[in-house]
Amino acid sequence: MIKPRPEPVQVIKQRRDEALGVLVSSIPYIQFLGVSFDRRGDELTAIMRYSDKLIGNPGLPALHGGAIAAFLEISAVIELSWSSLWKEIETPSDAAQGTSILSQIELPKTIDFTVDYLRSGLPRDAYARARVTRSGRRYASVFVEAWQDNRDRMFAQAKGHFLTPKSLTAAKGSVS
Amino acid sequence: MEAIPHAKELGIWFESIGQGVVEMHMNYDERFIGDPRTGVIHGGAVFALLDTCCGAAVISHPEQKGLTATIDLRVDYMRPAKPGQTIRAKATCYNVTRSVAFVRAVALDDDDDRPVATASGAFVAGT
């Protein structure tokens, strides 16, 4: 038995970044808000670059609650899609079809989303990480936390439920 | 909406304003699309409309003095909004205590009978 040589790191990185890029760039609202994603292995951090158009209260000034909520919901949707696609992305034989599968992928639909505003959003960049706490055949539960200058001082947290797209359920079935 | 840059950016406008009751509209815009396969706008844009509308309902309540901030807001998404249609949000601030205002809201497209989303939340009262 000869164990196949691991793929060169650059090949793996390129494939992962390409997949993430296709997923993120396909959604206009993510571009509208100026949200991007930083990837370390399979861990994603969402970043919302500060812009004046995100302000809700110019007097303080503070970020708009709706912009914060949208940022967290985007983090949740991308994390959920990303974690569902991870296995396919990691299978080199599918690499050629990888991005084409991705462009047809059904995104999870939000059932409900609840945001707790812990502190007012400062006029600076914001960061968020989402965690899929339950991933079922019908729906998934996702928890999101967001911070600005200090990782230990969250300024918002959210939880939501999402319908699992049929395509992902099918993909899951075929892998296992 | 000049006072709220993000609401202005989303093209949200006041349709009507009463005592603790506010209606706001947001036009369909391709920049708000959340699912490119269907053209349905992102839940986050609907959330932002509902949050703005709920906040305005609190400020318009006779017992509320000054501005407010969201403590928490939950949005239930009943169905996707029809692409191309304006979204109408109606919020009611139904109770104000010394420190908290309670609000609920509904979001509709052209179909009055089947809501796109509903929201309920708590806001800071009497800043």
**Extents of the domains making up chain A:** 9-175
Burial class (CB in 10 A: 0-12, 13-18, 19+), A68: buried
The dihedral sign for the CA sequence A127, A157, A28, B23: negative
Q: What does the alpha-carbon distance between residue A143 and residue B85 come to, in Å, rounded to a whole number?
A: 31
Task: Say if the Cβ atoms of B7 and A66 lie within 8 Å.
Answer: yes
Question: Looking at per-residue confidence, does A30 or A2 come out higher?
Answer: A30
Instruction: Tell me: pLDDT of A175 over 80.
Output: no
| pLDDT, position B61 | 96
Fold of A9-175: Thiol Ester Dehydrase; Chain A (3.10.129)
**A35-78: pLDDT as tens digits:** 999 999 999 999 999 999 999 999 999 999 999 999 999 999 99
Q: Is B120 near chain A, with CB under 8 Å?
A: no
> What confidence tier does B123 reach under pLDDT thresholds 50, 70, 90?
very high
> What confidence tier does A5 reach under pLDDT thresholds 50, 70, 90?
confident
Assess contact for A115 and B72: CB atoms under 8 A: yes
Task: Say if the Cβ atoms of A113 and B47 lie within 8 Å.
Answer: yes
Q: What is the mean pLDDT of residues A95-111?
A: 70
List the alpha helices (DSSP H) in chain B.
Answer: 5-9, 43-59
Q: How many CB atoms lie within 10 A of CB B62?
A: 9
Q: What does the alpha-carbon distance between residue A105 and residue A99 come to, in Å, rounded to a whole number?
A: 10
Q: Where are chain B's structural domains? A: 5-124
Task: Say if the Cβ atoms of A69 and B47 lie within 8 Å.
Answer: yes
Return mean pLDDT, chain A: 88
DSSP letter string, A137-171:
SSEEEEEEEEESS-TTSEEEEEEEEEEPPHHHHHH
Q: Token match 């439920």: residue? A: A161
Buried b vs exposed e over A107-125: b needs ≥16 C-beta within 10 Å? bbbbbbbbbbbbebbeeee
Task: Say if the Cβ atoms of B6 and A106 lie within 8 Å.
Answer: no
Q: What does the alpha-carbon distance between residue A62 and residue A30 come to, in Å, rounded to a whole number?
A: 20
Q: Is B72 near chain A, with CB under 8 Å?
A: yes
- Nearest Cα of chain B lies from the Cα of A59 at a distance, in angstroms, of 9
Return mean pLDDT, chain B: 95
| pLDDT, position A87 | 83
| pLDDT, position B95 | 95
| pLDDT, position A3 | 80
> Rounded to whole angstroms, what are the CA distances from A136 to A103, A113, A132, B43?
23, 17, 10, 21
**B39-69: pLDDT as tens digits:** 999 999 999 999 999 999 999 999 998 889 9
Fold of B5-124: Thiol Ester Dehydrase; Chain A (3.10.129)
Of B38, B42, B52, B53, which to mutate for an interface test with A (greatest number of A Cβ within 10 Å)?
B42
Q: How many CB pairs under 8 A join A and B?
A: 129
Q: What is the mean pLDDT of residues A119-133?
A: 97
Q: Which helix (DSSP H) or strand (DSSP E) does residue B120 occupy?
A: strand B117-124
Share of chain B above pLDDT 70, in %: 99
Instruction: Tell me: pLDDT of A166 over 80.
Output: no
Question: Looking at per-residue confidence, does A152 or A87 come out higher?
Answer: A152
Query: Quick one: CA torsion of A18, A19, A25, A30, rounded to 10 degrees?
Result: -130
Show residues of chain B in contact with A28, CB under 8 Å. 30-34, 36
Task: Say if the Cβ atoms of B77 and A115 lie within 8 Å.
Answer: no
Q: Which of B99, B38, B45 shows the shortest CA–CA distance to A165?
A: B38
